[in-house]
Structure 1
Amino acid sequence: MAPPSPHRSSILNLFKAGVAPVDIIKRLGVPSKTVYDSISRFKKLGTFLDRRGRGRKATVVTPDRIKAVKERIRRNAHRSIRKMAEGMKISRRSLGRVVKDKLKLTCYRVRKTAILSEATTKKRLERSKKLLQRTRNDEHLVTVFSNEKLFTVQAEFNPQNHRVLAETSEEAFANGRTIHQASHPASVMVFGAVCADGKSPLLFVDQGVKINKEVYISQILEKTLLPWAQTHFNGRHWVFQQDGAPAHTAKLSQQWCETHLPAFIPKDEWPPSSPDLNPLDYSIWGVLQNKVNAKPHSSIEALKKTLLKEWDALSPDYLRATIDAYPRRLRAVIQKRGGRMEHN
């Protein structure tokens, strides 16, 4: 019997925090079958652990068959299980068992990401080490992570998940095989900040307003972030995080943070090109977008209404689980010597 997935505990934590299965799949980067099977087992048995004696008896797989599969994967790791099974004239299920149970391989989706220069990789490594040291005092639990995000009125389209069953291509076209999208849909820029036990109000940036250092300080930091944080922490110590956007790293913005905030991560201490280290980027914005853009919106106002609703619906358990992943991600960057981790 195949060993249980090492992701089961993470799946359980996110599921119990109210995260939808499709968002868990995206957040953890694991196969959809693993997530749905784990949730089904939990609902039925109240646990993710396998029952004793469960499962079919292992099918005999010859060493030659295992060796042949391993060699094919070595030559082309991008070949699908279906095509490989057809080429080897065995069932997809049998080949899947060889890949998963015998070779201990997992199928991951190929993702697009920016190339990191040698200098950027070095900075990510050095700065991640220093930030990890700070988490040993649980500083990340009082850190306010922040960022901006652009949302559009269009429904999110994923060709991997959007399918239609039909007898002919003409019927499929008529039933929605083609999704029409505007080149430049109406959109709204939002600012949000989160910590282990709360989140700021969601701020909408006015149409046509560019977030330069003046707008960032006056509209975002002074009017939104600081009043919320002072009320939320109520005298407790807290730390502010922002990424390397020009408005954030501007001298005037850095001086404002140094003067008005109890503590913040300066621009030369946050790793560059690191959305994989900001909870908003590696989880929250994606979860929000999946829910908000599940269907198109008729107007910007309708989009704003849905954004506010879904932002308010983010549960405390989910926020804590997302922040708890931050130290693990720092360790993953360090393990990769400053490179990208497998799942963003």
Structure 2
Amino acid sequence: MAPPSRHRSSILNLFKEGVLPVDIIKRLGVPSRTLYNSISRFKKLGTFFDRRGSRRKATVVTPDRIKAVKERIRRNAHRRIRKTAKGMKISRRLLGRIVKDKLKLTCHRERKAAILSEATTKNRLERSKKLLQRTLNGEHLVTVFSDEKLFTVQAEFNPQNHQVLGETYEEAFANGKTIHQASHPAITIAFCRSRSQNQQGSLHFADFRKDISSLGLEALQWTSLGIPTRRCSSTHSQVVATVVRDPFACIHPEGRMASVLARPQSFGLLHLVVLQNKVNAKPHSSIKALKKTLFKEWDALSPDYLRATIDTYPRRLSAVIEKRGGRMEQV
């Protein structure tokens, strides 16, 4: 449908003053068809507005309803479309139309974020520069990467099931990030190691109540960030949950340890993050059932994912440097 002429109000004002149509055409320079259509509409309707269309007026997707949905999302960007539609007593399809077409919002994955102090940000920047310098000659292709992750029998945060509404990815991350929190359920710690271009690696378990040095696992000797050295009788599980959740350690082939503090998930090059999304999507009855599920999901993971994530290792380091040690997007 063509937009209305911008001379419509001027035409009607001159017509009301008694100016002849021929003089109006000469004065405004409008086509004769536009002139006579505007005059005819005014004589029939008594106004210069368009006729009401053949379609019925909107009763649900109204400006007031759009404003109400916008305010609800502004207060809580984690709202589910289905639950919101049920609360507002409208259909899910119409609410989805408001969110997508009117508000231009998109569902993004919810992500975790760690607390970054000024000292941590500085260390991230310095160590990222050193590690990026090592990747120039391809050292990351022969570097042994190790990772550890804390698993609980309770259902954990799953970004595939928790979404946040936002116009852009940055806005969704700012509104939807959650800070790491410690809990005290039944706990087991999984360790894995892998060389970038070789096989997937093995999976080991440890009890957080035992001293890690007494386990005698070679993989545990590589990690300097995973387990706290101080002893805490009442809050030991809380310390482990805070420290072990997203650590990553890079071991040079010659034996030099390069501890990377660029969390969260900046250099999580192994499968444990993906493994957590699969295993902790639902609660488990016991530690034994949790370990059984871990082994099953670990064997089902593809080594292609490991190769692809290690190939992006230099790009992740560059992203941290670009953010001056701050949080970066998922690359």
Q: Secondary structure at the match of 1:294?
A: coil
Q: Name 1:96's counterpart in structure 2.
A: 100
CA change 1:326–1:106 in 2 (3 A) is farther
Q: Secondary structure at the match of 2:288?
A: helix
Q: Secondary structure at the match of 2:114?
A: coil
CA contact (8 A) 2:109 2:160 kept: no
Q: Secondary structure at the match of 1:262?
A: coil
CA contact (8 A) 1:276 1:329 kept: yes
CA contact (8 A) 2:121 2:326 kept: yes
Q: Give yes or no for the alignment of 1:266 onto 2:258.
A: yes
- Work out which of the residue numbers 284, 298, 301 in structure 2 matches 1:311: 298
Q: Secondary structure at the match of 1:277?
A: coil
Superposition RMSD in Å: 4.3
Q: Deviations over 1:55-99 (max 9, x none)?
A: xxxxxxxxxxxxxx9xx99xx69768989xx9xxx9854763577
C-alpha displacement at 1:242, in angstroms? 5.6
Q: Name 2:330's counterpart in structure 1.
A: 343
Mapped partners of 1:244, 1:188: distance in 2? 13
CA contact (8 A) 1:277 1:329 kept: yes
Q: Name 1:154's counterpart in structure 2.
A: 154
Identify which range, 331-340 or 189-198, moves more after superposition: 189-198
Q: Secondary structure at the match of 1:279?
A: coil
Mapped partners of 1:225, 1:158: distance in 2? 27
Identify which range, 153-162 or 120-129, moves more after superposition: 153-162
Mapped partners of 1:288, 1:192: distance in 2? 11
Mapped partners of 1:111, 1:296: distance in 2? 20
Q: Name 2:12's counterpart in structure 1.
A: none
Q: Name 1:125's counterpart in structure 2.
A: 125
Mapped partners of 2:226, 2:283: distance in 1? 31
Q: Name 2:275's counterpart in structure 1.
A: 288
Mapped partners of 2:325, 2:209: distance in 1? 36
C-alpha displacement at 1:274, in angstroms? 5.3
One-letter code aligned to 2:267 = L
- Work out which of the residue numbers 310, 319, 322 in structure 2 matches 1:332: 319
CA change 1:307–1:111 in 2 (3 A) is closer
Mapped partners of 2:192, 2:294: distance in 1? 11
Mapped partners of 2:297, 2:80: distance in 1? 37
Question: What runs of 5+ residues in structure 2 fail to find an aligned partner?
Answer: 1-66, 89-93, 163-182, 230-249
- Work out which of the residue numbers 210, 217, 240 in structure 2 matches 1:220: 217
CA contact (8 A) 2:112 2:264 kept: no
One-letter code aligned to 1:96 = K
Mapped partners of 1:323, 1:120: distance in 2? 23
Q: Name 1:172's counterpart in structure 2.
A: none
Q: Of the two structures, which has the highest relative contact order with CA contacts closer than 8 Å and spacing of 6 or more?
A: 1
Q: Percent identity?
A: 57
* Richer in helix (by share): 1
Mapped partners of 2:319, 2:108: distance in 1? 17
One-letter code aligned to 2:100 = G
Question: What runs of 5+ residues in structure 1 fail to find an aligned partner?
Answer: 1-68, 163-182, 227-239, 248-256
Q: Name 1:321's counterpart in structure 2.
A: 308
One-letter code aligned to 1:316 = P
Mapped partners of 1:310, 1:285: distance in 2? 10
Q: Greater Rg, structure 1 or structure 2?
A: 2
Mapped partners of 1:207, 1:244: distance in 2? 11
Mapped partners of 1:265, 1:128: distance in 2? 14
CA change 1:158–1:132 in 2 (3 A) is closer
Length, aligned pairs only: 212
CA contact (8 A) 2:148 2:192 kept: yes
C-alpha displacement at 1:131, in angstroms? 1.0
Q: Deviations over 1:264-288 (max 9, x none)?
A: 3334xx34545422324xxx22211
Q: Deviations over 1:124-169 (max 9, x none)?
A: 112112211211222222222213222122334669948xxxxxxx
